[in-house]
Structure 1
């Protein structure tokens, strides 16, 4: 019924942690309505998150997920966009725990939108990314942050990823599985400077 989509703030506009609680987003596949009731519950659960449209105005990280959901579910869902400019570990975990409280009795999915390492040779990028993804598979957000910092993994949405790990654990996930890892080089054929991408799912 509801998708909560967490993404990084690339523009610096708006609040440090910002969601929208009303409106409709339009993609080539049609319109998707914001779930205002769930959004308001998230704001009530954690004071870190503000209602702020400005953060979303020129941000792409959340909207790119909507066509995939529309392909799967048509118009049978609403969503809550949460934009992360503040991505420290404690804030990410607090948002994740707030989602546990809000979504515990809802039919919902939580999605982190992020790419992985940027503009490094394929071998370097894959080594860094797969190390970070092992921490995600272990559902260990602290280890994930340690790898991000010590290995300089330039994933833009590390805060959303950590928040989803915390939410998944709180909602009863027992395992995480890496479904696929690819880079831009797999599409362009240029492996000298790539961006990494991964899909991970959490299962009860």
Structure 2
């Protein structure tokens, strides 16, 4: 078995369990016992350091109290490092180690994805130092408890490639009905707060309209530097409803309104 060691524990979030619990407690109003999902649900969540983005993520994760908890979380994120192979890199076996325990890969679903999409390849090198999926697991676990995972990195986020991924995700939909699909993305990067909010708003409008092609067009037209457009676009067609839960920028915490990153979270059902 191949196990993944945390790459950003101690930087993006506390590596000690007690410190992590203390931090996340401030972002959630309540925890409750949840039954398993009877329908698949989706979230779009940011992946910055928890001090900046955990509150935005927690608002959306808390909405799962109205639906339930998943047996498996399909994690889809961008590859920031540029390391790896394949259009989509999947970690297909073993477990991911976190301060809240180990999370086993759903090998059955991972194998299904690989068998049904030649563009999805087993590759661990792309995941080793990548943070976009790692940061999702502890905060999801704090609210949901244990679950299996299927980690997928989108190495090439072209519109055409994302359509191929969506097609395979729809096939998974027919196999399982207790899945949480998580698309990991921050919004616009490293511009003033005013510009970031303007650009984020344009992209958010397309997300709420479920206009995938429009997302790509508007990002190109206005140079919107959201890093996970591909992961977002890959899960939107799976759902009838998309709702914006929370939107903010890093300036709320840093006080720096000249170099900001936008964070938004959405619920899909």
Alignment TM-score > 0.5, same fold: yes
Q: Aligned residue for 1:14?
A: 84
Asked if 2 retains the 8 angstrom alpha-carbon contact of 1:45 and 1:102, the reply is: no
- Residue 72 of structure 1 and its aligned partner are, at CA, apart by 2.1
Q: Aligned residue for 2:143?
A: 72
Runs of 4+ in 1 over 3 A off after TM superposition: none
Residues 71-123 of structure 1 show CA distances to partners (whole Å, capped at 9, x for unaligned) of 12212x10100011110011112101201101324110111101011110011
- Residue 68 of structure 1 and its aligned partner are, at CA, apart by 1.9
**Is 1:89 aligned with 2:159?**
yes
**Is 1:177 aligned with 2:225?**
no
TM-score (norm 1): 0.93
- Unaligned regions of 5+ residues in structure 2, if any? 1-70
Q: Residue 58 of structure 1: which of 124, 129, 136 is its match?
A: 129
| Match runs of 1:35-184 below 5 Å | 35-75=106-146, 77-106=147-176, 107-166=178-237, 168=238, 173-184=239-250
Greater percentage in strand = 1
| Match runs of 1:14-33 below 5 Å | 14-15=84-85, 16-33=87-104
- Unaligned regions of 5+ residues in structure 1, if any? none
- Residue 158 of structure 1 and its aligned partner are, at CA, apart by 1.0
